[in-house]
A and B are shown apart, each in its own frame.
Chain A
Amino acid sequence: MPYRVNYGEARRALSMALRALREANERYFSGTRHRFYDVVGMRATVEMAVAEALREADRVALSWAGEAPQRIAAWLGLLDRMEAEDREAEARMRAAARRR
């Protein structure tokens, strides 16, 4: 018997991931983020490793806000197409069985 995807569970897992990302983004950007940058007057001097890491963290956070939802939406769309294909395949199988 071919392995059947649990579409509901897969959608739920992806929705949870999306929600976690959104919450993390909200928490990251809300409230006090700007305060750390107020500790010092920021200017671009890229040779400093820690500062570069901070900016990288910022880029990651920004990607959560932008790229990740799109990726998850694409996966959800893929799930929808797969489920539709599965249903079509099942319908074809049921029709063939009835003809027999």
Chain B
Amino acid sequence: MPEEPVFPEDPIQWMYEEWRKSIEGTPTDRVLDLIEGGARTAEGFIRGVQEAGEGLARELQVWVTDPGRKLEQLSQLPGLMVEGWGVMLRPVATGLASVRSLLEQVMAAIRLDPTLTLTVDPENLADLHAAASALNRVVEASHRLREAALGLAEGAGLRSGSGVEEAWAGLLMAGVEGPSQALARVFREASRFMIEVLARNGQGGSPVNYWPPIRIPVLPKPSSPLIIIAVEELPGRLGALEKARTELAEAMGGLRLALARLETWEGYARLGFRDGVEQAFAPMQRFVGPVMMGILDEARPLPTMAREMAAQVSRIAPVDVSVLRVNFSYFHEAEEYLRYIYSVSEDLAGHLTGSAGALRAAWAMRDGGTAADELEAWGRRARVVVGGTAQRVMPLLLALRDQVKNYWTQTLRALVHRPREMIASLRGGEG
């Protein structure tokens, strides 16, 4: 029966003592004794290094500003009396951060030390399983969120060639999937540690491999910009996006609850898992909170805009506004065409008027007059009906073009640019 493993009450102190044993008798050991006053505690070490550093700085300052001091007095400065002070000078200069770094390295060694164990209850491992399972649900929910976002983009006709997939994949990577991978690594490390401890205690523990499958989408090749405004479908697609966000938020709530149970394990905080979890959780919370809400705020006006645009289109031509297809290049061509048929109608009216005049001069009889009148009437009809229609349609067409551009810009902002802005924000926030 293996001996009941006991984790030191203060692992940092334990680490420090072990380290001091390893350097016992060395110059560094002696200078540390001087610095910490022989206390041999981690706290004494940290405080002593700080004080020694400050004291040294004061001494040096006095020495530099007091020309009466002799050069040989320099050797009396405590840090410089002892061999190896140079090694310590850099950590003092960089302050407590370096000390912490050192402690963290030792802590990492503690985790791998087969002679050191924490008390582990199998229930802790079960809690870790539950937390990892909740993490998988978060990842799955994030994929549904992505699908909903792409559905909205597809309804708005932005799927092809507009970078929507890239933007959403990037946002989810930065907001959910990247942190999920970090969290999964934390879980895996915790799981491995727990299983080792349980094995040393003669207890069972199934190997756990928590590594949520993060699916990176294959991005399509860009194609020509075609807007397909599914006017009737857009509110539903937006609703699906909102629902998917709520679902992700709920999945994260479940993960938070699972993590709360895991906190009953004594090693959770001691071995730094809490920090790892919090660091991964923070960007995820920002993603489902302010980031997604910001995107939804911008996406919510899109169905209304699409309806307004459909109404505008219906003023120009009879359309089925439930699904409106608009290709940008058509606007330019349609505008050119309207100008063209206007000029054609004007030319024709001019020609027919000229022909009618010539006909009257050459054939000034009843039948000739009738023919000339009819030619002139055709010209008038060409001018009024064709040219006039072209003139009436033109401003509506231009208004529609502007509306489409506005819609396009707003939609792009909501579904492409906004996620990209948020990616930078999230990455900055992970710090």
> Using a CB–CB distance below 8 Å, which chain A residues touch chain B?
3, 5-10, 12-14, 16-17, 20-21, 23-24, 27-28, 31-33, 35-46, 48, 50-51, 53-54, 56-57, 60-61, 64, 68, 71-72, 75, 78-79, 82
**Nearest Cβ distance between residue A30 and chain B, in whole angstroms?**
10
Hey, which chain B residues are within 8 Å of A50, CB to CB?
Answer: 315-317, 389, 392-393, 396
When the two chains form their complex, are residues B348 and A39 in contact, meaning their CB atoms are under 8 A apart? no
When the two chains form their complex, are residues B317 and A54 in contact, meaning their CB atoms are under 8 A apart? yes
Contacts A12-B358, A50-B393 given: A24-B348 contact, CB under 8 Å? yes
Hey, which chain A residues are within 8 Å of B337, CB to CB?
Answer: 31-33, 35-36
Q: Which of B325, B354, B371 gathers most chain A CB within 10 Å? A: B371
Hey, which chain B residues are within 8 Å of A61, CB to CB?
Answer: 386
When the two chains form their complex, are residues A5 and B365 in contact, meaning their CB atoms are under 8 A apart? yes
Q: Which of A7, A12, A35, A42 gathers most chain B CB within 10 Å? A: A35
**Nearest Cβ distance between residue A48 and chain B, in whole angstroms?**
5
**Nearest Cβ distance between residue A55 and chain B, in whole angstroms?**
9
For residue B291, CB closer than 8 A to chain A, the reply is no
Contacts A9-B358, A17-B375 given: A32-B392 contact, CB under 8 Å? no
Contacts A24-B344, A39-B331 given: A48-B363 contact, CB under 8 Å? no
For residue B319, CB closer than 8 A to chain A, the reply is yes
A-B contact count (CB 8 A): 163
Hey, which chain B residues are within 8 Å of A42, CB to CB?
Answer: 317-319
Q: Which of A39, A43, A54, A61 gathers most chain B CB within 10 Å? A: A39
Partner of B378, one of A28, A54, A64: A64
Chain B residue nearest in CB terms to A75: B371
Per-position binary interface string of chain B over residues 311-345, scored 1 when its CB falls under 8 Å from any chain A CB and 0 otherwise: 00111111110011111001101101110110011
When the two chains form their complex, are residues B363 and A10 in contact, meaning their CB atoms are under 8 A apart? yes
> Using a CB–CB distance below 8 Å, which chain B residues touch chain A?
313-320, 323-327, 330-331, 333-334, 336-338, 340-341, 344-345, 347-348, 351-352, 354-356, 358-359, 361-365, 367-368, 371, 374-375, 378, 381-382, 385-386, 388-390, 392-393, 396-397, 400
When the two chains form their complex, are residues B317 and A27 in contact, meaning their CB atoms are under 8 A apart? no
> Can you offer 6 A-B residue contacts whose CB atoms are under 8 A?
A12-B358, A13-B358, A21-B352, A24-B345, A41-B319, A60-B386
Contacts A24-B344, A56-B389, A60-B385 given: A51-B317 contact, CB under 8 Å? yes
Contacts A10-B363, A32-B340 given: A39-B334 contact, CB under 8 Å? yes
Complex CA distance for A51 and B347, rounded to whole angstroms:
23
Hey, which chain B residues are within 8 Å of A35, CB to CB?
Answer: 330, 333-334, 337
When the two chains form their complex, are residues B382 and A43 in contact, meaning their CB atoms are under 8 A apart? no
Complex CA distance for A21 and B371, rounded to whole angstroms:
15
Chain B residue nearest in CB terms to A11: B362
Partner of A9, one of B351, B361, B390: B361
Beyond A50-B389, A54-B317, 19 additional contacts (C-beta under 8 Å) are A3-B364, A7-B362, A13-B356, A20-B348, A20-B355, A24-B345, A24-B347, A28-B341, A28-B344, A32-B340, A33-B337, A35-B337, A38-B330, A39-B397, A41-B319, A48-B314, A50-B317, A60-B382, A64-B378
When the two chains form their complex, are residues A40 and B361 in contact, meaning their CB atoms are under 8 A apart? no
**Nearest Cβ distance between residue B50 and chain A, in whole angstroms?**
75
Chain A residue nearest in CB terms to B332: A35
Hey, which chain B residues are within 8 Å of A51, CB to CB?
Answer: 316-318
When the two chains form their complex, are residues A16 and B378 in contact, meaning their CB atoms are under 8 A apart? no
Complex CA distance for A46 and B314, rounded to whole angstroms:
11
**Nearest Cβ distance between residue B231 and chain A, in whole angstroms?**
12
Hey, which chain A residues are within 8 Å of B392, CB to CB?
Answer: 50, 53
